[in-house]
Structures are given as C-alpha cells and as structure tokens.
Amino acid sequence: MKETVLKKFLRYIAIDTQSDENSNTQPSTMKQMNLLKLLVNELKEMGIKDADMDEYGYVMATIPSNVDKKTPVIGFIAHADTAPDLSGANIKPQIIENYNGKDIVLNKGKKINLSLADFPELADFKGKTLVTTDGTTLLGADDKAGIAEIMTAAEFIVNHPELKHGTIKIGFTPDEEIGRGVDKFDVKKFGANYAYTVDGGALGELEYENFNAASAKIKIQGNNIHPGYAKGKMINSILVAMELNSLLPVNERPEYTCCYEGFFHITRFEGSVEQASMQYIIRDHNREKFEQKKNTLKNCIDFLNRQYGKDVLTLEMKDQYYNMREMVEPHYHIVETAFKAMKSAGVEPVVRPIRGGTDGARLSFMGLPCPNIFAGGHNFHGKYEFVAVESMQKATEVILNIIKLYAGE
C-alpha cells in the first residue's frame, strides 16, 4: 500500500492543475481536466464502471455494496486543483528515504533549505520517507495526497472482495483552492448520506469546524494632479489604500492569530495615484465575530468616504462559506467513526478547528455532512511543502477502517 500510494501521488503531481481566481469559467482552468480525466480512466480500469466526469469537471464514481444489510452510503472527496499562490507546473519532487532528521537541501543553487529551525516538526519524521519540492514550486500534496489515498483505498477494495463494505461514493472536484469547489456539485447525484473530505494536514488531524469566510474587493478612485499644483486637489489612491489597511486591527492579521482567533488578511494590492484596488479575506469561527469583522471593514470604508468624498472607495463583499460545525454535530457519529478508524490504524486523533475551509464546509450546508480527515501534508501552498509517505499510507488505512466500521466489521 505504501508503494502504491506513493506511485499514484507522483503521477498526479506531475500534472499541473493550478486554479485561477480571475477566471469566470467552470472549472477555472481547463488543465485541471487533464488530471480529472486520468482519474476517471483509472477508476474504470479498476472495474468501477460508472465513473464519469461532467462538463464542470466533477468526477463521481460508485463502489456497490457487497453486504446484504442496509448501511449508510459513505463518500470520500478530494480536490484536484492546486493553489494559485505558487506554480504547480514542472514539479520536481525529491524523495528522501530514511530521513536523517537534519536540514534538507531543497535547492543548492538557490540556497533554499527545509530547516529544523524553521520547521521543528521535521524531527518527528526521522526514519520516514519524505517527498519534498525542489524549492521552485509547491508540491501539490494539497490535495493530490488526498486523491492518491482515496484511489489507493478504492483499488484495495476492488482487489479484495472479501472486505465487507456498504455502498461507497468517490468524488473529485476542481477549484477548491479559489472557493468554488462545489459551486455546481450535484449532491443528489452523488448520492451519499455522509462524506469525508480527505484534505487535512498532519497525521491525525480530524476537523469538523472551520472558519466562516468572506471575500472583499475594494476599488479606490483617486484624483491625480501634477504634484506641483496638487494642494487641496490630489487624492492619492495608494495612500488611501494604506490608510484603510492601517484602520484595521493589527493584532487581527494572520501572522498574529491562531486556534479560534479570526483575522483580516490582505491578499492583493495594485495601485497608482489615480486608481487602486485591494482584496481581503475575512475569517472567524464565531459567526457573531465574523459579522462584526465584516461590519468593521464597512465602517472603515464609510469613514474614509466621508473624509475624501462619496464613492472614492467602493466595496464588493460576499460570504464564501460558513462553519460546518452546526451541520455536522447533529450527525456526530461521523466524527466518532473517524476517531475510531484512526485509533484502529494506530493514529492518535487530533481534533482541531480548520483555520481555513474545505469543500466539506459548503457541502455540509448543501445537505451532505462532511468532516475533514488528514491527508498528511505540511506547509501547503509554498515551496516548503512536504509529505511523509507513511502518513499517506495511514490516511489510506483510515479510509478503509471507516468503510469497515460502517459495514459493521
């Protein structure tokens, strides 16, 4: 199983699937289809006859039940796209067997190292097999590790008919990284009673609550006047943008928050004296505090518009997803089952809130309760991303254990 999951993972990360938040198509980039089509073909080659992909890039497949009794239909979901933060093309993975517990040279020429000083958790992987980047791209473990684990579990089930299981649904989505992963996902067609996204981080992570999330786009219309004659006339859009950012609480930035603390995060800025634009994401686990944060941003913009003139700043804000906890807790057995499945695999469950979101958050509000389990990766979205093959193996075992538990085995 260890060799199988690694082989699949390396095959999947070789395909560039970066999504694009500025695209209006579904999926946002057609290159995601290259991996999604491959997955359909692999599923069919396993003998899963109904595997298909729709026009939006959603892959769905069914492994029929082999037990006589009625059991819940359980789904497993992962996303195919990688984050826009860093290139996902021409990934050159480094496989480090029997890791010695020391700093890892990712790129000697560029002097990029994966160091224990910066990432002390590396010490936990001494003796394990690590897959890292070469320091020029992300790795793609988010979430191709999850895909590899689901595909390895599916192959195991098909090849071992003696393993008793209920009906199993498999789903792969595009565009999760840009918040559009389930925009057109047909929950009814998928047909699961409950599901798990395999999109978490470190070994043992089990999550059933996440941020409430909103995005905010601000446009600033300045007034560019020759600086020699600008007194009382110029409005410098760059300075207005800086002033807006300074009005937001400094201690509520991502670099100063953890656990259940929310934040304002500026993700993009472009500007000249005449015009500027800014983008923020707003996050909080608590719904009331989430609404307060949105109102804080609105009030800051209203304040600046009173200072500089009506409509100098315009705001486009929309909610992206909500905390899945309220939708999962009425079906808490799905969390308890995952807990038991991890224990059976020799993995200590680590229950913590997601400081982000998954497709499962939105799916839970679409009628498919969907907690999140670990995929095994670390340092997602950047050049320091890595994954331990043993963690991917354990995630596969957890998937199989969940299936066994729901079949009463």
Residue 357 confidence class, pLDDT cut points 50, 70, 90: confident
Q: What is the pLDDT of residues 376-397, one digit of tens each?
A: 999 999 999 999 999 999 999 9
Q: Indicate the burial class of 31 (C-beta count within 10 angstroms; 0-12, 13-18, 19 or more).
A: middle
Work out the mean pLDDT of the chain and round it to a whole number: 96
Count, residues in the chain:
409
- The β-bridge relationship of strands 104-107 and 168-173 is unpaired
43 alpha-carbon distance from chain centroid: 23
Report yes or no: 182 and 60 within 8 Å, Cβ to Cβ.
no
Q: Which domains does the chain have, with CATH numbers?
A: 2-210+323-406 (3.40.630.10), 212-321 (3.30.70.360)
- Give the span between the Cα atoms of 79 and 59, in whole angstroms: 10
- At residue 230, the pLDDT reads 96
Q: What is the pLDDT of residues 178-207, one digit of tens each?
A: 989 999 999 999 999 999 999 999 999 999
Token pair of 29, please?
């980039």
Q: Indicate the burial class of 256 (C-beta count within 10 angstroms; 0-12, 13-18, 19 or more).
A: exposed
Rounded mean pLDDT of 119-139?
97
Q: Is the pLDDT of residue 409 over 80?
A: no
Q: Which residue has the tokens 């509000």?
A: 365
- At residue 386, the pLDDT reads 98
Token pair of 318, please?
């929309």
- Give the span between the Cα atoms of 302 and 242, in whole angstroms: 15
Is 326 marked active-site? no
Residue 324, C-beta contacts closer than 8 angstroms, at least 6 positions apart:
208, 209, 210, 360, 361, 364, 365, 369, 370, 371
Catalytic: which of 42, 81, 142, 359? 81
Catalytic: which of 176, 177, 199, 252? 176
- Which amino acid would we find at residue 66? N
- At residue 269, the pLDDT reads 97
- Give the span between the Cα atoms of 193 and 75, in whole angstroms: 8
Residue 3, C-beta contacts closer than 8 angstroms, at least 6 positions apart:
none
Is 85 marked active-site? no
φ, ψ for residue 197, nearest 5 deg:
-85, 135
- The β-bridge relationship of strands 74-79 and 59-63 is unpaired
> What's the CA angle centered on 216, arms 211 and 218, to 5 degrees?
160
Residue closest to 218 by CA, chosen among 143, 104, 314: 314
Residue 274 confidence class, pLDDT cut points 50, 70, 90: very high
Q: What is the 3-state secondary structure (H, E, C) of 280-306?
A: EEEEECCHHHHHHHHHHHHHHHHHHHH
Report yes or no: 391 and 204 within 8 Å, Cβ to Cβ.
no
Residue 224 confidence class, pLDDT cut points 50, 70, 90: very high
> What's the CA angle centered on 338, arms 350 and 391, to 5 degrees?
60
232 alpha-carbon distance from chain centroid: 47
- At residue 356, the pLDDT reads 79
Residue 334 confidence class, pLDDT cut points 50, 70, 90: very high
The DSSP string of 371-388 is -EEE--EESTTSTT-EEE
Cα separation values, 262 from 44, 76, 206, Å: 43, 29, 20
Rounded mean pLDDT of 320-341?
95
Report yes or no: 271 and 237 within 8 Å, Cβ to Cβ.
yes
Q: Which residue has the tokens 């807006």?
A: 244
Burial 378-403 (b: 16+ CB within 10 A, else e): bbbeebbbbbbbbbbbbbbbbbbbbb
Residue closest to 84 by CA, chosen among 19, 138, 13, 179: 19
Q: Is the pLDDT of residue 40 over 90?
A: yes
Q: Is the pLDDT of residue 306 over 80?
A: yes
